[in-house]
Amino acid sequence: MKKTKTEKTVKKTRETPAAEPAFESRLQRHHDELRWLYMELYDNDSMFAELCGRLKSFSDERNQALRRSDAKREAAPDWYKQNDMLGMMFYIDNFAGNMKGVESRLNYLEKCNVNYIHLMPFLDTVEGRSDGGYAVADFRKVQEALGTMEDLESLTAACHKKGINVCMDFVMNHTSQDHEWAKKARQGDGEYMSRYFFFADDEIPRQYEATVPQVFPTTAPGNFTWLPDAQHFVMTSFYPYQWDLNYKNPRVFNEMMYNFLFLANQGIDIIRIDAVPYIWKELGTQCRNLSQVHTIVRMMRMIGEIVCPGVLLLGEVVMEPEKVVPYFGTVEKPECHMLYNVTTMATTWHTVATRDVKLLKKQLDIVNSLPKDYLFLNYLRCHDDIGWGLDYGTLMLEGMGERSHKQYLNDYFQGYAGDSNSRGELYNADPVTGDARFCGTTASMCGVEKADEEKDKQAMEKAIGLDIMLHAYMFMLSGIPVLYGGDEIGQLNDYSYKENPNKAADSRYIHRGAMDWKKAEKISDEDSVEGKIFGRLRRLEQVRKAEKAFVAAADTWTIETWDSSLLCIGRYFEGEKIIGIFNFSEFDKTAWIKEEGEYRDLMTGEDRKAVDVSIPAYGFYYLKRK
């Protein structure tokens, strides 16, 4: 009989029982707080004892290379806050067919200066009801088409040899309806029904619906699904085939922690906690960001620090800043290591559409005033839609109403406004609230697709200029920049999803197209669109890596330019100062700044004063004080 992965690893460790004083001292450090929080939620001694026992086994199963890396990272806890960190996210099949394919493309990733890859969901899921892999049917099995757990372990080891960190999604809010727990629950097994939210009639679901907003109002309205065979409602905040887990049940918490540690032991460096604000439900609330969610994330952080201290937690909190920041926890009781800078991302596109940097400057001032321990992931777009979560209180003062402004942005990025060159599609347009989100690749939203269609060379230069300027600006923000795979060669929207019945209703697939390796062959051809984008991005990456003012611990602030379309950002670290100026308009402009001293343009090497700087349409400067 074929051995399962776990059996094999356990056997290996039994042969070489490792004296592990580190585990004991890590457990000691966190035990009291962990126990306190566990009891607060579950008041269950035996389940807590079971948890501690299993932590020890997962620690024993961790291989030597990972343990060495844990120890190294514990000794240099800021290892991930350096200026050379650059991420890239991609779907394995789209990028390189399967896990082995990714392993064979590591040289390309190195060429991209990428040292952190986010492998989009790759665990077992059922085609046709997978939500891009976010409906997990088995947390310990890789999708057959992509490979095996052994392939994953081999990939992470190969990445580590090249200094590349690997991130994966941990979808802990729900399982797929095809997960074995869900199958048993559907058959009426009470033990498993209690791991989800089951209701025999609609009385309680109706009470929930009164206060809980909808995630997918058009593609999956409501928060419950009726199961005719089980004669029960089940809670499904996302798609009907994604069943919300009930974390009030300590069995759910324990088992999900074991899954987390199992995955960490495959060599994963960064665990992205999917949809984290949703994991605790209480009747009469919005079921978002409840205090118990923070208790769980805090426990998860401690569990990670006890078993696999080299592993980072990245929280997915796609909400307004006041809701996001608490997921960092406090300095004494940290929760996530990193969070997405989502409001900045949305505000960036608002700025592209309006050519007015005021709101973005205000948003950056807020982010820049936060403690430097808070590390953000910066991105221009990801695999999800762009939701227009902007500071409407401020926009209102400028006469921009929420509904009309969202309408404007959606019209703009669909290419309807006269001065727009963008291409893309709406996502979950809600006829009731008038709300809609947006989907498109960076290049398509910058005008590359339209210029390509119209064979307009001048428009293409402008579009590439905007694309590069946005990346240059994103690299200047405090935190870790993450590219979406394909954006480095300016990949366009992919409309083929409409022909696939499993995808047609979900327009997010428009910006999740397969990597075009034919196009990627042109990265050295400076006359091609791909070569231009890749080459200029590469230069930015090299500059960022070479300049210590880009470390996360640097001071970062905005500088008034006295021009509504020009954003200026300063960075300072250990005597080195860099200022970045970014032109969000299609006109040449002057930044009326007066920074003392002599400066050098980091892109061209030329000397330049940082005083009344003329800056071309969609241009930018990185100026370093000499």
**Which positions are annotated as active-site residues?**
274, 316
Residue 431, both tokens? 């006829």
Of 89 and 300, the one with the shorter C-beta distance to ligand GLC is 89
> Which residue, judged by CB position, is nearest to ligand GLC in the bound state?
134
Rounded Cα–Cα distance for residues 590 and 503 (Å)? 46
Nearest to 254 by CA among 59, 42, 30: 42
Q: Are strands 270-273 and 116-119 parallel, antiparallel or unpaired?
A: unpaired
CB of 239 to ligand GLC, least distance (A): 8
Contacts with ligand GLC, residue ranges (CB under 6 A): 131-132, 134, 171, 238, 274-275, 316, 383-384
* Residue 280 and residue 42 in contact, taking contact as beta carbons nearer than 8 Å: no
Proportion of the chain in helix, strand, coil states, percent, rounded to 5: 45, 20, 40
The nearer residue to ligand GLC, 271 or 306, going by C-beta atoms, is: 271
**Taken in order 160, 164, 169, 172, is the CA torsion positive or negative?**
positive
From CA 150, how far away is CA 245, in angstroms rounded?
Answer: 28
Shortest Cβ 134–ligand GLC spacing (Å): 3
- How far apart CA 269 and CA 254 sit, in angstroms, is 21
Instruction: Kindly provide the residue ranges of all beta strands, DSSP E only, lying in 8-111, ordered along the sequence.
Output: 87-90
* Tokens standing for residue 565: 């379309």
Instruction: In angstroms, give the least distance from the CB of 307 to ligand GLC.
Output: 25
**φ/ψ (deg, to 5) at 200:** -75, -30
Complex with ligand GLC: residue 425 or 541, whichever CB lies closer: 425
Closer residue to ligand GLC (CB): 9 or 428: 428
Q: How far is the CB of 609 from ligand GLC (least distance, A)?
A: 45
User: CB–CB of 486/382 below 8 Å?
Assistant: no
Determine the 3-state secondary structure of 224 from DSSP: strand
In the complex, the smallest distance separating the C-beta of residue 152 from ligand GLC, rounded to whole angstroms, is 20
Cβ nearer to ligand GLC, comparing 108 with 427: 427
> How many Cα atoms sit within 13 Å of 248 on the Cβ side?
10
Q: Between 274 and 449, whose beta carbon lies closer to ligand GLC?
A: 274
Radius of gyration from C-alpha coordinates of the chain: 25
Kindly tell me the number of DSSP H helices and DSSP E strands found in the chain: 23, 23
CA dist 561 → 17, 93, 565, 585 (Å)? 63, 45, 9, 14
Least Å distance between CB 129 and ligand GLC? Answer: 12
Minimum CB separation of residue 170 from ligand GLC in Å reads: 11
